[in-house]
Amino acid sequence: MAHLALSAARRWAQLPVAVRIAGVYLGARLITTELLVVAASLSTSLSRFGAEPGLVDFVLGWDAQWYWLVAESGYPAELPLTDTGDVAENAWAFMPVFAYAAKAVGVVFGSWGAGAFLVSFVAGYLACLALHRLLRNRIGGSAAMWAVILYASGPIAAMFQVGYAETLFLLLLFLALDAVTRRRYPWLYLIIPVMAFTRPGILAFALFLGLHGILRWMRRRDDPLAAREVVHIVALGALATACGFAWQVIAAMVTGDPGAYLATELAWRRHWVAGGVETFVPFEGWIQAAQFWFAQWGLPQPWGPVALALLVVAVGAALLYSPQVRALGADMRLWSASHLLYLLAVFFPQSSTFRLLLPLSPLWGAVAVPRSRWWRVGILLLCLAGQWLWIFHVYALGNTFWQVP
């Protein structure tokens, strides 16, 4: 028996990386599908999806409905208003690339939902390939494969097979990070604009490029920095910044309201903040959320911002000093810090927080670095348990803004 297991392991190791990742990915998707089937069987009339929904209902659920609306109706020229005169939730909060890519693929199958599923599913597999390529030269092939396993099986793995833009964005992000780390900057002129109109977050990449450029300048004696590379880094940083604000400009031009995009984003935050939100103030969302959640948990509200500050310090220390994170290289740490700073600046932490942390997926490499088999298997089991908890709450039970994925 041991001989057969060893022989099977050797044959597995000899397979091309793309084939092994395909096996891992398909296995992970089967597990996720089973969890979704169980969630569907537990769904009741109190759920958003009703009693005994089908998997198609989950594919088209929650934000997928907004992407479908974009594909079918485009964006409103006049912002909808609530009874109180505030800007209501509307399609301007959702970027066009995924919506129209799903529509283009769906034409073949006669269904936008089929196109959305296929775009997410295929992009998820390609993102696994890109993540392995991004990590393998830093932490080795075995750890990189385990990082892919954890990424494909993580708590938010349902995103690989529902109508959300996450997996397409992650594919583009991993390709962009790989281009930066390999100094293949010209590829970014193609990737950055597509990323920018897939989902919000390109401003974090602009910050990352700036930090990357500063680091390369500081290390130019050990890592020569050619003049053309300086030009690329500066130009790409400017491009990413311009693309980051372009959607706001487009929304303003179409609607005639200079604050159309920010007002649209704040429409979702009003569910959480008593009295509503008048204007966007950077970093305010986390302070408001800390106070909100501490009140919900029955904890002293003044301690909310203090706990937030301690959390920021702890995460920053982990990025700076953890040997497992340091093994990923400076660029992965700079990207992680950039994305976290971006979230601190613009986001109100709530039920979507875990999904918005997905761009930190290269950090799975740090989790996979320890070579202990028990450690890796234990983390995988925790990922699957977290995946079930997430699917159960947002699909089987999901019926309020408290449970938006």
Q: Is residue 211 included in any domain, yes or no?
A: no
Q: Is residue 301 included in any domain, yes or no?
A: yes
What percent of the chain has a predicted confidence (pLDDT) above 70?
Answer: 95
Span 216-267, pLDDT tens digits: 999 999 989 999 999 999 999 999 999 999 999 999 999 999 999 999 998 8
Q: Is residue 185 included in any domain, yes or no?
A: yes
Do 56 and 157 share a domain, yes or no?
yes
Do 344 and 375 share a domain, yes or no?
no
Do 30 and 97 share a domain, yes or no?
yes
Do 312 and 189 share a domain, yes or no?
no
The stretch 157-166 carries a mean pLDDT of 96
Span 341-360, pLDDT tens digits: 999 999 888 878 889 999 99
Contact (Cβ atoms closer than 8 angstroms) between residue 307 and residue 289: no
Do 109 and 187 share a domain, yes or no?
yes
The stretch 182-193 carries a mean pLDDT of 97
The stretch 83-91 carries a mean pLDDT of 89
Contact (Cβ atoms closer than 8 angstroms) between residue 171 and residue 127: yes
Q: Is residue 207 included in any domain, yes or no?
A: no
339 closest CA partner among 327, 328, 351, 331: 331
Do 138 and 101 share a domain, yes or no?
yes
Rounded CA-CA distance 101/352 in Å is: 23
Do 162 and 292 share a domain, yes or no?
no
Q: Is residue 74 included in any domain, yes or no?
A: yes
Do 165 and 293 share a domain, yes or no?
no
| Structural domain containing residue 301 | 273-349
Q: Is residue 61 included in any domain, yes or no?
A: yes
Count of structural domains, the chain: 2
Q: Is residue 184 included in any domain, yes or no?
A: yes
Residue 371 — very low, low, confident or very high, per pLDDT cuts 50/70/90?
confident
**3-state class of 358 per DSSP?**
helix
Token pair listed for 376: 């890796």
Do 316 and 384 share a domain, yes or no?
no
Do 296 and 381 share a domain, yes or no?
no
362 closest CA partner among 208, 211, 197: 208
Quick check: 139 pLDDT over 90? yes
Tell me what pLDDT residue 12 has: 73
Strand runs labelled E in 159-233:
none
Which of 189-193, 267-271, 364-368, 385-389 is the least confident region? Answer: 267-271
Do 345 and 373 share a domain, yes or no?
no
| Chain mean pLDDT for the chain | 90
Count CB neighbours of 326 within 10 A.
15
DSSP 89: P
Tell me what pLDDT residue 18 has: 94
Q: Is residue 37 included in any domain, yes or no?
A: yes
Tell me what pLDDT residue 36 has: 96
pLDDT greater at residue 277 or residue 165:
165
